[in-house]
């Protein structure tokens, strides 16, 4: 049974057109990603929206049709149900550090620290920092413009006061 185009579009939009495991977007890959069944159909999974994950080809390939055969086997992180920060910490060098056993297993199974992903995360961090600095620069420019306008107003008021002083001096001196 294949997934309908409508359901595929819902999954894509819900994921904001990016891999729900690694964050790589359609723009990054220059094409659509894949739909993965978190619980594989071969393991009893369904085509329900809640079981469908939008993911890149690599994450889908590495995850494969993994599903724990018994409760003692490790579980993969479910990006649809679990918060990223619960299981992972991104380090300054762009690698992910596992905070839980689920995170550790997912890092190994899906290979979330593969070099291209680390480089991708570093680029995203750098871009976010550039955006933050750009916004800060823009705010400073707005403040400088306001300061300039305030300074111009003060100079005009100062000229008016000087003219008023000259007038008063002329009156006092009888000129």
What is the enclosing helix (H) or strand (E) of 173? helix 115-173
pLDDT digits (tens, 9 = 90+) for 26-74: 999 999 999 999 999 999 999 999 999 999 999 999 999 999 999 899 9
**Residue 175's pLDDT band (boundaries 50, 70, 90)?**
confident
- The whole-angstrom separation of Cα 92 and Cα 44 is 39
Q: Position of tokens 């579980």?
A: 75
Element (H, E) at 89: strand 88-90
Task: Indicate the pTM of the whole model.
Answer: 0.77
Mean pLDDT calculated for residue range 121-141? 95
Does residue 18 contact residue 114 with C-beta atoms inside 8 Å? no
């Amino acid at each position: 049974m294949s997934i309908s185009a409508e359901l595929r579009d819902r999954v894509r939009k819900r994921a904001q057109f990016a891999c729900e495991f690694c964050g790589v977007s359609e723009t990054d890959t220059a094409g659509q990603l894949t739909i993965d069944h978190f619980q594989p159909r071969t393991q009893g999974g369904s085509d329900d929206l809640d079981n469908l994950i939008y993911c890149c080809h690599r994450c889908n390939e590495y995850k494969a049709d993994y599903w724990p055969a018994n409760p003692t086997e490790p579980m993969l992180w479910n990006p649809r149900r679990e918060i990223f920060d619960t299981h992972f910490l991104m380090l300054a060098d762009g690698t992910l550090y596992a905070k839980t056993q689920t995170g550790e297993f997912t890092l190994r199974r899906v290979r979330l620290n593969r070099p291209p992903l680390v480089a991708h995360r570093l680029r995203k961090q750098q871009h976010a920092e550039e955006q933050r600095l750009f916004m800060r620069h823009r705010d400073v420019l707005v403040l400088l413009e306001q300061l300039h306008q305030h300074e111009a107003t003060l100079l005009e008021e100062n000229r008016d006061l000087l003219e008023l002083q000259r007038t008063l001096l002329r009156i006092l001196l009888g000129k």
